[in-house]
Structure 1
């Protein structure tokens, strides 16, 4: 038996009907399942392709820490232990999620990939790589980090150096003494560049296409996300202006080292492009003392070189692309008319995208995703239960 066998069964989804199926055993799916079970007495089946819950968290690099304060970042019904400290590590978060599944008594089927969802009468049929499963309601909570993606850079297939996605990065140690180009300016890119530049790599460049929104991890002794609920109530123009002013106070003038102020304001970028601010307390000193060199965007690859947008070229031995993920929802639900042109769900949380079909966890909120998942879970669960009640009433009326 494995550590998850007491709460989860692997493979062999039994053909038959479920009240609710939750696709995805990440934090969004776990939180909604918990609310359904403990608030409403509905025991959903959680289906996930991985062999353990919260798989994307297990795959994070060594040295990862939560960017939001652990005190605020718990799921519904169970806090993160205070002993984990203000910024819990990857391993502590994995321990928390495992304990959450056990203590909340959640029902998981692991190692099963959902391939397609189709309407089946008043409910839904989910085709998996094991067996079909029917459900009266489905919640899709597979997350924004479903499929790692590198841009289709010209010439990348002929590059003789090492090219990998940040999802495959675990620690800086294998890259000791090498010259490394990190592509991206989000939090993962920054963390990787910081690890590499801590007397490990011989040279570290960070390629930036769009200047990031820079914020500190804490201010005046308070975690920056403490202010999230208050900030979310303020006008966008005011948030953008205040953040720009505070950036100058926190970090000074950075245009000379390759990090000019972004054209869009911090909250405008978050709402329009889901661009999460970058924690920059350690990055800025490393850039100022040249341990990390900011360079322009990657345009193409040659045999042993990377050509940049400004016409210059580098010769890194390793390129690590912290270039984001695809949601990977097209094959699953693209035929249902519930996705936007860029593959994002038409709704996130209530209301349903289609009768009996919800998406959850597809946002990048200013207050942090875990906190947002906790707030979203009760609303999704309540709407699912209302749908089940209405469907049951309609069925009884038809049977009379």
Structure 2
């Protein structure tokens, strides 16, 4: 530990990350009368939403599944929030609970000091000492940039989806989107609507479901059915309905896995795609589905089936990953990929005062549940003690 760092004793928990899960944790703690301190590496809350999402983004689930604890969305807002609406909600949430993170504080090291019996969290300038540490840096801390043969030789534009804003700069251009999850599908639609000649790489099998069935959110319908029927039966129902609504997706390049969408999500963490109109563009040939990439050339791509095509730009919609393992020195609670060892609903609590919020793989509703559990657990300890460490900032 460097002696040049300013040591700060904080009596309550230190929360790492000021995204929705970090805000939820802080608000739940405040409701329980426990002070907390959020450390955020960027200069704003919800930096992923504010700085690394495309303009047309909407929440894929109805708003009732996306609200944070103790604060509902305004009733006049539509069921599927836009990016701007959700950001406004998060800003209002932080203001309501007077959440004031320390910005520009990227955590370089966090480890339990057995001599002190406390956690030590180091940034560039500070050495924070705390009894409880809440990891809320999130599942999407760092973009995944795949290593594809020849990509450094490609002379066109290559950018990760975190840098994509809209299709205005791509009009008339041949663009290849790599990655066919929800982001890749929606960016492809945005590019197509902006006049780009869009191709979409579909490498693996995946489930594409309509966003709504029978006038209800597919997600809400699934959650309701799971209360009464086993998961495999609900999967059969979803796939049958999808076939009637969308047709045979294999005809358009989307072969379905042998395992149903809910089963696959529960066992492998793979989220089905909720279609918002991309499939219609694929059916009409306005968006072309292509196989996996064999290698890049200077002007385009050679695909696994031997075809060679030229492209002006490539958008890597290849997702994100956790960065927890790069700074948290702890070998039991988190695995080598930076996710809790135990799956939801047992992914929120570790040992020695270590907690996580935002690693459920099940969206904001599950993260809110974890935030409440963490706050209740810490509050029991906080209120059972007669003395706390002095706060020095």
* CA 1:381–1:350: 2 relative to 1, 3 Å: farther
Equivalent residue for 2:209, pick from 201, 204, 215: 215
1:156-191: CA deviation from partner (whole Å, max 9, x where unpaired): 111111111000000100111100000111111111
| Structure 1 residue 106, shift from structure 2 partner | 1.9
Inter-partner Cα distance in structure 1 for 2:150 and 2:198: 22
Mapped pair 1:306 → 2:298? no
CA distance in 2, matches of 1:125, 1:334: 10
> CA offset at residue 71 of structure 1?
3.2
Counterpart pick for 1:386 among 380, 385, 390 = 380
- Asked whether the equivalents of residues 114 and 332 of structure 1 are also in contact (C-alpha less than 8 Å), the reply is yes
Of residues 284, 287, 299 in structure 2, which corresponds to 1:289? 284
Listed as ranges, the matches of 1:238-253 within 5 Å are 238-253=233-248
| 1:186 aligned residue | 181
Paired residues for 1:317-396 under 5 Å: 317-347=312-342, 352-365=349-362, 369-388=363-382, 392=385
Matched, 1:172 2:172: no
User: How many Å separate the matches in 1 of 2:136 and 2:371?
Assistant: 11
User: Can you give the 5+ residue segments of structure 2 that lack an aligned partner in the other structure?
Assistant: none
2:110 aligned with 1:113, yes or no?
A: no
How far is the alpha carbon of 1:248 from its aligned partner? 0.8
Partner Cα distance (2:173, 2:107) in 1: 40
User: 1:350–1:379: 8 Å Cα contact kept in structure 2?
Assistant: no
Q: CA deviation at 1:267?
A: 1.6
Q: d(CA) in 2 for partners of 1:299 and 1:79?
A: 48
Cα gap change, 1:263 to 1:295, in 2 (>3 Å): farther
* Preserved CA contact (<8 Å) 1:116 1:127: yes
Residue number among 267, 270, 279 corresponding to 2:274 in the alignment = 279
CA shift digits 1:8-50 (9 cap, x unpaired):
xxxx987222310111111111111111111x10011111111
Instruction: Name the SS of the counterpart of 1:189 in structure 2.
Output: helix
Change (3 A) 1:360 1:279: same
Q: CA deviation at 1:119?
A: 0.9
Number of equivalences: 379
C-alpha separation between the residues in 2 aligned to 1:148 and 1:240? 31
1:45 aligns to what?
Answer: 37
Instruction: Report Cα offsets for 1:330-375 as digits up to 9, x if no partner.
Output: 121254343224332224665522220011111222xxx1222222
Alpha-carbon separation, structure 2, partners of 1:73 and 1:65: 12
| Cα distance change on mapping 1:285 and 1:112 into 2, 3 Å | same
CA distance in 2, matches of 1:373, 1:177: 41
* Alignment CA distance shift 1:68-1:283 (3 Å): same
Is 1:127 the counterpart of 2:126 in the alignment? no
Residues 340 and 347, structure 2, Cα contact 8 Å, conserved in 1: no
- In the other structure, the counterpart of 1:78 is 71
Q: Would you say 1:147 and 2:154 are equivalent positions?
A: no
Between the aligned partners of 2:329 and 2:153, the Cα distance in structure 1 is: 33
Contact 1:13 1:112 in 2 (8 A): no
CA RMSD in angstroms comes to: 2.2
TM-score, normalised via structure 1 length: 0.89
SS of the residue corresponding to residue 131 of structure 2 reads: strand
